[in-house]
Each structure stands twice: as C-alpha cells, then as structure tokens.
Amino acid sequence: MKLDRPVNGGPCWTELGTSDMAGAKRFYEGLFGWRAETDPRQEAGGYTVAHLGDAAVAALTPLYQEGQPVAWNVSFAVQDADAVAEQVSQEGGTVLVGPMDVLDVGRFAVAVDPTGAVFQLWQARSFPGAGLLNAPGSLGWVELMTRAPERAVEFYTTVFGWTVNASEHYTQWGIAGADFGGMVRMDDKFPHEVPAHWLPYFSVADADTAATVAAQSGGTVLKEPASMPNGRRIGVLRDPQGAVFGVYRSPDET
C-alpha cells in the first residue's frame, strides 16, 4: 500500500465480527502482537480496538445480528457518508445499514456493491481510522474478490474516484495513482457458495512464520505463502472462528 495514513476514498479501518471474542483476542494477539482494549461503555456493545504500541490498527466485535457471518470487514474513508451512501444506491449498490452516528467518533454505513461484496463507509469525527498502516501487524493491502470485475471497476471508480492500474494478471486500485489494493476474478476454483468479498491483508515480518504460528494456534492455512512477481510474499489464512484474511511481506520491509 502506498498510503501511509487514511485518506478520502481509501481504506481506513478493518474490523472482525467474530463468534468468540476471547478466542479471537488470543489468536491475533499471538499472531500480530496486538493489545486489545474493549470499550467499557454499554452502548459500545463490546467493541474492542487492537493496538500496536499506541496506534489503533483494527477492531474486534461480537456478532450483532442474527445470521451475520464471522468475517473481516473493510472500511473506506469518506467526507460525507450520507452523500456517498446515496451514490452507492444510484450506481447499483445497496445500503444495508445506516448511515448512522457511532457515539462521538464518526458516522458509519454498511453497503454491498453490485457484484455482492460488502464494504463499509467511515466519516471520521474524533476517530480517523488506523493510526498505523503497512507496518508489521497492521493493515497493508485490501483485495476485492469478485466474479464480475468489469462491473466492479465501473462502480468503484464512479463512487470513490479510484484510479485503476491493470495488467494482464492483476488489477490494482489507487487514489491518484497511489495503489492501496487490488482485485481478483473469482473463477471455478472458488466454491459457488463463497460470495464476492473484500479481503484485508496484514503486513508481517515473515509470511511463512505467520502461517506457521496461525496453524499452531488453531487457524488454517488456506494458501501457503508464495512469492509474487512484484516481490511480495503472501499467504491466505483462516482464524479458528472461520474469518479469512491475508498476510504479506514486501521485499523492502526489514
């Protein structure tokens, strides 16, 4: 990711909805070295923020609705959540939740794009989003998995104004050319029941070690770490409760 802080239109936060808060805390603390702090206010509903040092890097939440899947969700920063939510609807997406105020920290909405991938909008007030990006243990890349990439390009470039850097093998999303994520076409290798989705990748000091630690801690290695043409080494993992996420190490990370 070429962004070093949350910017308008770019990924600013990721949060895990999980069926086992205690188990998820143990797993990710052991994997990434996070320090988890739960908001004590009753109205916060058990919302827990993970930190690296003093920097907030991600969140863990209970499942708030019946039928809500255990999954990681990605939030994109916007200046006006209501205006962007309206544009989402106009461009063929659906707003599932909100926009709504979240205490005094911001305004929030949950939406699904025309290809079926859920994402979130975040209009910051007192909380801008992740205080650290790209460093080991923090969010470093987001990837859209979809069966309709052409429709996705049309939607996201219109709603967020993203730039597109497409090659024969991979499409990357950016803000004014600063790439922060990519897109993969879901082919027959993906089970039919797996919907389109956004997949967060966390930077790690060593992707192979991260995969080993995850497996030893009750997780599953879905894609063994492998080196990519761009020099990154990436793997895809699943936590003990079933949430899927990626890990990567860039060649310039020390």
For the segment 136-183, what is each residue's pLDDT rounded down to a tens digit? 999 999 999 999 999 999 999 999 999 999 887 889 999 998 999 999
**What is the CATH number that goes with domain 11-124?**
3.10.180.10
Per-residue b or e along 196-214, where b marks 16 or more CB atoms closer than 10 Å to that residue's CB: bbbbbbbbbeebeebbebb
Q: From the centroid of its chain, how far is CA 194? A: 17
What lies within 8 Å, CB to CB, of 153 at 6+ separation is 164, 171, 183
Average pLDDT, the chain: 94
For the cut 90, the answer to whether the pLDDT of residue 37 exceeds it is yes
Mean local confidence (pLDDT), 49-63: 96
- Establish whether domains 11-124 and 139-249 are of one fold: yes
Domain range 139-249, CATH class = alpha beta
Neighbours of 252 (CB within 10 A): 7
| pTM higher than the cut 0.85 | yes
Confidence class of residue 254 from pLDDT cuts 50, 70 and 90? very low
Nearest to 184, CA basis, from 135, 123, 244: 244
Bridge partners, 179 (sequence order): 174
Structure confidence by residue, pLDDT tens digits, 203-239: 999 999 999 999 999 999 999 999 987 778 999 999 9
Amino acid at the residue 46: G
Write down the domain spans for the chain: 11-124, 139-249
Distances (CA, A) of 251 to 36, 92, 139, 206, 213: 29, 39, 17, 10, 21
Q: What is the DSSP letter of 43?
A: G
Q: Are 76 and 120 spatial neighbours (Cβ–Cβ below 8 Å)?
A: yes
- pLDDT computed for residue 252 by the predictor: 67
d(CA 6, CA 223): 28
